[in-house]
Structure 1
């Protein structure tokens, strides 16, 4: 059994790989960072709150993980651009893995959504994923081996009550994932989406209030 574990670890080693994970200080993003770091990747994270970043970096340093972080509200185009400049500087113009995880949800009846609600959800969930992928493209291409993983949702595939706009944003992510995978295969960049079901995170709790 021990030998099998060693072989698995060697097979899936991410030693020498670099990764960027958005929305990484809690929930699914936090777990992804730990998994990447356990397999040897050097990871940069972003979050809206510096205190949350500092808390996580202290935790991960105690585990021997190689993780850095910077503040970025992915709702802001300017902050997304600054984030990618930071990542380019830290990783010397190359990036192997981009995890588009940051997202928000506003739970309401479909008749109650405002224009501001729709803009906030679509910009945070879909536009940030699309734009971050565009910004990361030259870094991923330069690495010679790039991978994008977009965190979608089961809500993007089937209907659930009170999350119609969130569902639409995740459905858009599912489709653009296919398009980017097709277009960027020539650049040796793989693009995939993961659609989790219900995971007890703060995002899910917001839907249950």
Structure 2
């Protein structure tokens, strides 16, 4: 696989921030980017899990570091981006807004707290991190934002009206930022997977 990567293309010395990178899709993204040569920083609320993953990646010879961060908290998002700016000398090539969560309920059963938690984690944090990352992405001269959306943001699915709304908003944000920030040489895309069971962790994501 390493030979195949070298023959196809390389991310050598490019910098990346992947949110929620200790499990599921985020874990796979961190590992893949680093395997292509990128220098990756990730974050998680779970310090023990984060430390374990970082050591695992380093044992593979991958350049990965991590920060403990609760993305629901604005001040912690700002601190995360300050850390990234310091690590990468004020430049960032890739931002992967991956962190997300869902609470399966009927629409009539959702509470105000449910709404706030899901929308803040899935949409507000991704929007804010993109704003914070903009000067770093622009400074790199080759910036990329990838939103990990969901098919739920495109079609109707049961028991996930707020989650679907957060992902639908993310899809529209992608279009707007792609147009608005093209002048700054920042590409913006979203990926909308169906239900995924990753091979490395027993985790379902939609």
Same fold (TM over 0.5): yes
1:85 equivalent in structure 2: 82
Of 51, 55, 72, 1:54 maps to 51
What SS is found at the alignment partner of 1:124? helix
2:204 equivalent in structure 1: 204
Matches of 2:61 and 2:4, distance apart in 1: 22
User: Structure 1 pair 53/182, CA: closer, same or farther in 2 (3 Å)?
Assistant: same
CA drift at 1:204? 3.5
Matches of 2:178 and 2:77, distance apart in 1: 22
Of 41, 59, 68, 2:38 maps to 41
CA drift at 1:6? 4.8
Mapping for residues 6-155 of structure 1, pairs under 5 Å: 6=3, 9-155=6-152
Is contact 1:15-1:40 (8 Å) kept? yes
| Alignment gaps of 5+ in structure 2 | none
Matches of 2:161 and 2:6, distance apart in 1: 41
2:184 is equivalent to residue 193 of structure 1: no
Q: CA RMSD in A?
A: 1.7
What SS is found at the alignment partner of 2:164? helix
Matches of 2:116 and 2:168, distance apart in 1: 16
Provide the TM-score with structure 2 as the length reference. Answer: 0.94
What SS is found at the alignment partner of 1:192? strand
User: Structure 1 pair 63/139, CA: closer, same or farther in 2 (3 Å)?
Assistant: same
CA drift at 1:200? 2.5
Matches of 1:14 and 1:204, distance apart in 2: 28
Of 135, 158, 161, 2:158 maps to 161
Provide the TM-score with structure 1 as the length reference. Answer: 0.93
Matches of 2:5 and 2:99, distance apart in 1: 29
What SS is found at the alignment partner of 2:196? coil
| Alignment gaps of 5+ in structure 1 | none
Of 172, 177, 195, 1:175 maps to 172
CA drift at 1:12? 1.9
CA drift at 1:66? 0.3
Matches of 2:64 and 2:92, distance apart in 1: 14
CA drift at 1:174? 0.2
What SS is found at the alignment partner of 2:96? strand
